[in-house]
């Protein structure tokens, strides 16, 4: 799974949206099993590993994730903005540099346009940070507007990134056009304004704008003399007595002005928007409601409450097709999650009993060892059977279900498991309503693999036919 936080968030949000149609019990069991597998492998469960696990469960055909599809759509939108920015940059620069030989190219117009571009770039970044979406109509037209609250919070930054990419393309295309025009045409620059502005004041303005590159390219900083001699008035005839070459000495300033105050700010804001997008994606993933639910499901054991209703006014459904079975003749017993402590019922204390303990405080490695030892004892038996002793007042857990499912895969195919729920007094039978969840539990296991037995009280030792009498 890609470490890209944005793609990770989009994939996770899409998976959570699809899981909304699944029963909560199924999601709990699935994610709890994933957490136990990670614990067994000694790795930390993470969203990326969980998504990779979900992709494996989905089978082939799911290589293109939702995050990739979403980012592909935004790449198309960004490419569209970039192409439009290139075209507009060329056309705009040609308009700014239009010169028919009868008038000068006004530096004041270029300064105003550069300032406008800078303000537009800053406004694009600010609207993305505060979450304002003036582009919503365009998102709907591009089919990028989603109902997911998480994706809606990403859209301002995604749109700002696309706009800044278009702005960078606009600036670079305009700069390339400017350089080409300087080479192929004899451009004459000057400055003029309707306001009563002195040449010294205008010189202070252009010197302040040229401060970032004055140390790098001193000739790109107009001198006071150049400012004084290149002022023109539209109503006046062309100024005489000025060397023609002086009108063209403004081009280094125009190039550096465009590069410094149009191209570079767009590049920096594009990098900033990408950084903000990654930070917001990371924060949204950590605070995603689905993430909180996932962590709860992975950290909490699953329980079978016996109720198939979601309405609190309904009583649990206690109906079941299964009926208690007879206890098999086998010396193999597994005490699950502390059942039988401090001692087993007297009828189960036979000399030839082989008692194993699993679940509860036992680690996964210990459970695996119990499965392996019981498998060795069952090998070669004509009717392999195992008794699993549990506590009747504790409902069946997902861990027990997974344990028995693993046992069914590793033990002989004709093996049979009998669940024996014990009461708080191990020598007395449990109450009838405590048996129902265990009967329903066996219905979810493989047919014929597991059953429930009740502790009879009339027979002296009915549990192990070959055991010695107490």
Cα–Cα distance for residue pair 450/418, rounded to 1 Å: 6
Q: Which of 259, 244, 167, 166 is nearest to 209 (CA)?
A: 259
3-class secondary structure, 122: helix
Q: Is 273 exposed, middle or buried (0-12, 13-18, 19+ CB in 10 A)?
A: buried
pLDDT reported for residue 63 = 52
Alpha-carbon gap, residue 289 to 150, rounded angstroms: 10
* pLDDT score for 168: 96
At residue 409, φ and ψ (nearest 5 deg) are -75, -30
Q: Please give the pLDDT value at position 117.
A: 94
Query: Where are the domains positioned within the chain?
Result: 66-286, 332-452
Token pair 């030839």 is found at 352
**Residue 266 C-beta-side C-alpha neighbours within 13 Å:** 25
Measured between alpha carbons, how far is 470 from 455 in angstroms, rounded to an integer? 16
Query: CA 304, 306, 310 angle in degrees (round to 5)?
Result: 100
Q: Residue 213 phi/psi, 5° resolution?
A: -115, 10
CA atoms within 13 A on the CB side of 318: 7
> Minimal CA–CA distance to 333: which of 382, 287, 385?
385
Secondary structure of the chain: what % helix, strand, coil (to 5)? 55, 10, 35
Roughly what angle, to the nearest 10 degrees, separates helices 24-41 and 364-378? 90
354 membership: H or E segment, kind and range: strand 354-358
The per-residue pLDDT for 444 is 78
Asked if 33 and 300 touch (Cβ cutoff 8 Å), the reply is no
DSSP 28-83: HHHHHHHHHHHHHHT----HHHHHHHHHHHH-TT--S-HHHHHHHHHHHHHHHHHH
H-run or E-run covering 274: helix 264-286
pTM: 0.61
pLDDT in tens, the chain (470 residues): 446 888 888 888 888 888 877 788 888 888 888 888 888 888 888 888 888 888 887 655 455 566 677 788 888 889 999 999 999 999 999 999 887 666 788 899 999 999 999 999 999 999 888 877 776 776 666 665 555 778 888 888 988 999 999 999 999 999 999 999 999 888 888 888 877 677 888 989 999 999 999 998 988 999 898 888 888 876 555 555 556 667 778 999 999 999 999 999 999 999 999 999 999 999 998 888 888 888 888 888 766 555 554 554 454 555 555 677 777 878 888 888 888 776 676 667 666 788 888 887 888 888 888 888 888 888 878 888 888 888 888 888 888 888 888 888 888 888 888 888 888 777 777 887 788 888 888 887 777 788 888 765 554 444 444 433 33
Distance CA(150)–CA(351), nearest Å, equals: 63
How far is Cα 392 from Cα 358, in angstroms, rounded to an integer?
16
> Please, are residues 416 and 442 in contact by the beta-carbon 8 Å criterion?
no
Quote the CA–CA distance of 359 and 367 in Å, as a whole number. Answer: 7
Rounded CA separation 355/11 (Å): 47
């Amino acid at each position: 799974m890609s470490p890209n936080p944005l793609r990770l968030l989009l994939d996770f949000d899409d998976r959570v949206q699809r899981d909304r149609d699944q029963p909560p019990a199924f999601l709990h069991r699935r994610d709890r099993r994933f957490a136990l597998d990670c614990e067994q492998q000694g790795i930390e469960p993470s969203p990326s590993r969980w998504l990779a696990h979900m992709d494996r469960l989905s089978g082939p055909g799911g290589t293109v994730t939702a995050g990739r599809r979403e980012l592909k759509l935004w790449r198309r939108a960004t490419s569209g903005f970039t192409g439009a920015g290139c075209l507009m940059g060329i056309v705009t620069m040609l308009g700014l540099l239009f010169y028919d030989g009868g008038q000068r190219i006004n530096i004041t117009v270029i300064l105003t346009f550069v300032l406008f571009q800078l303000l537009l770039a800053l406004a694009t970044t600010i609207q993305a940070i505060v979450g304002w979406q003036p582009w919503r109509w365009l998102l709907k037209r591009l089919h990028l507007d989603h109902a997911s609250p998480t994706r809606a919070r990403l859209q301002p930054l995604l749109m700002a990134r696309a706009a800044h990419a278009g702005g960078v393309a606009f600036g670079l295309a305009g700069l390339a056009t400017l350089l080409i025009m300087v080479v192929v045409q004899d451009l004459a620059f000057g400055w003029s304004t309707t306001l009563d502005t002195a040449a010294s004041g205008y010189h202070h303005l252009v010197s302040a704008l040229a401060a970032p590159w004055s140390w790098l390219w001193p000739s790109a900083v107009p001198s006071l003399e150049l400012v004084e001699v290149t002022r023109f008035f539209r109503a006046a005839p062309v100024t005489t007595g000025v060397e023609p070459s002086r009108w063209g000495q403004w081009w280094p300033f125009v190039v550096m002005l465009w590069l410094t105050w149009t191209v570079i700010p767009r590049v920096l804001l594009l990098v900033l928007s990408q950084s903000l997008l990654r930070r917001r994606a990371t924060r949204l993933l950590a605070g995603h409601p689905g993430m909180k639910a996932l962590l709860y499901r992975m950290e909490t054991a699953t329980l079978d409450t016996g109720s198939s209703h979601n309405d609190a006014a309904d009583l649990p459904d206690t109906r079941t097709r299964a009926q208690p079975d007879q206890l098999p003749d086998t010396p193999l017993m597994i005490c699950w999650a502390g059942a039988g402590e401090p001692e087993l019922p007297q009828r189960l204390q036979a000399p030839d009993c082989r008692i194993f303990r699993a679940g509860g405080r036992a680690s996964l490695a210990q459970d695996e060892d119990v499965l392996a030892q019981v498998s060795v004892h069952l090998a070669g038996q004509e009717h392999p059977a195992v008794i699993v002793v549990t506590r009747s007042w504790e409902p069946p857990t997902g861990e027990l279900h997974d344990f028995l499912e693993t046992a069914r895969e590793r033990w002989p195919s004709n093996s049979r498991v009998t669940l024996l729920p014990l009461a708080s007094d191990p020598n007395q039978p449990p109450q009838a309503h405590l048996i129902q969840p265990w009967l329903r539990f066996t219905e979810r296991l493989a047919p014929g693999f597991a059953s429930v037995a009740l502790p009879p009280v009339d027979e002296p030792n009915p549990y192990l036919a070959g055991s010695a009498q107490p």
